[in-house]
Amino acid sequence: MAHNRWIVADADKEKASFLSEKLNIDPFIAFLLVSRGIDDELSASDFLSSSYAYTSPYSLADMDKAVCRINDAVDSNEKICIYGDYDCDGVTATALLYTFLESMGANVTYFIPNRLTDGYGMNNGAIDRIKAQGTDLIITVDNGISAIAEAEYISTLGMDLVVTDHHQIGVALPKACAVINPHRSDNKIKFRDFAGVGVAFKLACALYDGDVQDMLEQYADLVAIGTIGDIVPLKSENRGFVRAGLELINSDSRIGLAALRQAAGNSDDELTSVDIAFQLCPRINAAGRMDSAYKALELLICDDYEEAQFKAQQLNLENTHRHEVEANIAEDIREKISLNPSLADDRVIVIAGKNYHHGVIGIAASHVVSQYGKPAVIIGIDDDGECVGSARSVDGFNIFDAISSCSDVLTHYGGHPLAAGLGIREKDINAFRKRINAYAISAFPVMPAQSIRIDCKLSPFYLNTELVDNLTVLEPYGADNPQPVFGLFNVKLLNVSPIGDGRHIRIEVQKKGQSFKIVKFQTSVEEFPYKAGDMLDLAIKVSKSYYKGKYYLSIRMADVRLNGIDDDRYFAEKSDYELFKLGNTPVGELYPSRDTCALIYRFLKSNNGWQYSFDDLYFAMGQSVTYGQLAFAVEAFRQAGLVTSDGERVIIKNTQGKVDLNSTDIMKSLKGRLNIE
Residue % of the chain over a pLDDT of 70: 100
- Cα torsion 94, 97, 102, 108: sign: negative
441-469 burial by CB neighbour count: b if 16+ within 10 A, else e? beebeebebbeebbbbebebeebebebee
Range 162-186 average pLDDT: 94
Cβ neighbours of residue 118 under 8 Å, at least 6 residues apart?
Answer: 125, 126
Supply the DSSP string of 131-164, one letter for each residue.
HHTT--EEEEES--TT-HHHHHHHHHTT-EEEEE
Give the range with max mean pLDDT: 64-78, 228-242, 541-555.
Answer: 64-78
Range 493-499 average pLDDT: 96
273-301 burial by CB neighbour count: b if 16+ within 10 A, else e? bbbbbebbbbbbbbbbbbbbbbbbbbbbb
Range 40-44 average pLDDT: 91
CA dihedral 139, 140, 144, 148 (to 10 degrees): -20
CB-based contact 651:611 (threshold 8 Å):
no
Task: Give me the half-sphere count of Cα atoms (radius 13 Å) on the Cβ side of residue 634.
Answer: 25
Closest of 142, 169, 171, 136 to residue 154, by C-alpha: 136
Residue type (1 letter), 298: E
What are the φ and ψ backbone dihedral angles of 489, each rounded to 5 degrees?
Answer: -105, 145
End-to-end CA distance of the chain: 38
pLDDT at 647 over 80: no
- Cα 538 to Cα 492: distance, rounded to the nearest angstrom: 10
Beta-bridge partner residues of 140: 83, 163
pLDDT at 183 over 90: yes
CA angle 580, 586, 590 (to 5 degrees): 85
- 420: three-class secondary structure by DSSP: strand
Other CB atoms within 10 Å distance of the CB of residue 120:
15
Q: Residues 360-374: pLDDT tens digits?
A: 999 999 999 998 899
Cβ neighbours of residue 72 under 8 Å, at least 6 residues apart?
Answer: 78
Higher-scoring residue by pLDDT: 447, 148: 148
- Cα 114 to Cα 23: distance, rounded to the nearest angstrom: 50
In which band, very low, low, confident or very high, does the pLDDT at 500 lie, cut at 50, 70 and 90? confident
In which band, very low, low, confident or very high, does the pLDDT at 171 lie, cut at 50, 70 and 90? confident
CA dihedral 140, 377, 650, 325 (to 10 degrees): 40
Q: Residues 112-155: pLDDT tens digits?
A: 999 888 888 899 999 999 999 999 999 999 999 989 999 999 99
Burial of 501 (0-12, 13-18, 19+ CB in 10 A): exposed
Residue type (1 letter), 373: G
Cβ neighbours of residue 534 under 8 Å, at least 6 residues apart?
Answer: 492, 493, 562
Other CB atoms within 10 Å distance of the CB of residue 143:
27
Closest of 607, 618, 619, 616 to residue 651, by C-alpha: 607
Higher-scoring residue by pLDDT: 1, 305: 305
In which band, very low, low, confident or very high, does the pLDDT at 7 lie, cut at 50, 70 and 90? very high
DSSP letter assigned to residue 478: B
- Cα 99 to Cα 247: distance, rounded to the nearest angstrom: 20
Angle at which helix 281-290 crosses helix 212-229, to 10 degrees, equals 60
- Cα 428 to Cα 609: distance, rounded to the nearest angstrom: 38
16-45 burial by CB neighbour count: b if 16+ within 10 A, else e? bebbbeeeebeebbbbbbbbbebbeeeebe
The mean pLDDT value of the chain amounts to 93
- Cα 290 to Cα 316: distance, rounded to the nearest angstrom: 12
- Cα torsion 66, 67, 68, 73: sign: positive
- Cα 59 to Cα 63: distance, rounded to the nearest angstrom: 8
Residue % of the chain over a pLDDT of 90: 81
Beta-bridge partner residues of 390: 378, 421
- Cα 16 to Cα 27: distance, rounded to the nearest angstrom: 7
- Cα torsion 612, 618, 619, 621: sign: positive
DSSP letter assigned to residue 610: B
- 552: three-class secondary structure by DSSP: strand
Q: Residues 86-103: pLDDT tens digits?
A: 999 999 999 999 999 999
pLDDT at 203 over 80: yes
In which band, very low, low, confident or very high, does the pLDDT at 587 lie, cut at 50, 70 and 90? confident
- Cα 85 to Cα 115: distance, rounded to the nearest angstrom: 9
- Cα 1 to Cα 673: distance, rounded to the nearest angstrom: 32
Q: Residues 454-480: pLDDT tens digits?
A: 999 999 888 999 999 999 999 999 989
What does DSSP say about strands 5-8 and 650-652: parallel, antiparallel, or unpaired? unpaired
Range 634-650 average pLDDT: 89
pLDDT at 497: 96
Range 424-448 average pLDDT: 93
CB-based contact 630:596 (threshold 8 Å):
no
Lateral strand order in the sheet of 160-164 = 107-111, 79-83, 137-141, 160-164, 178-180
- Cα 650 to Cα 642: distance, rounded to the nearest angstrom: 10
pLDDT at 98: 98
Closest of 323, 349, 325 to residue 522, by C-alpha: 323
DSSP letter assigned to residue 384: T
- Cα 657 to Cα 670: distance, rounded to the nearest angstrom: 25
pLDDT at 409: 95
pLDDT at 670: 95
pLDDT at 622 over 90: yes
pTM: 0.90
What does DSSP say about strands 79-83 and 107-111: parallel, antiparallel, or unpaired? parallel
- Cα 405 to Cα 431: distance, rounded to the nearest angstrom: 12
- Cα 16 to Cα 22: distance, rounded to the nearest angstrom: 10
pLDDT at 449 over 90: no
Cα–chain center distance at 612 = 24
Range 321-341 average pLDDT: 92
Range 276-303 average pLDDT: 95
What does DSSP say about strands 349-354 and 376-381: parallel, antiparallel, or unpaired? parallel
pLDDT at 549: 75
Residue type (1 letter), 192: R
Q: CA-based Rg of the chain, rounded to a whole angstrom?
A: 27
Closest of 503, 540, 538, 552 to residue 524, by C-alpha: 503
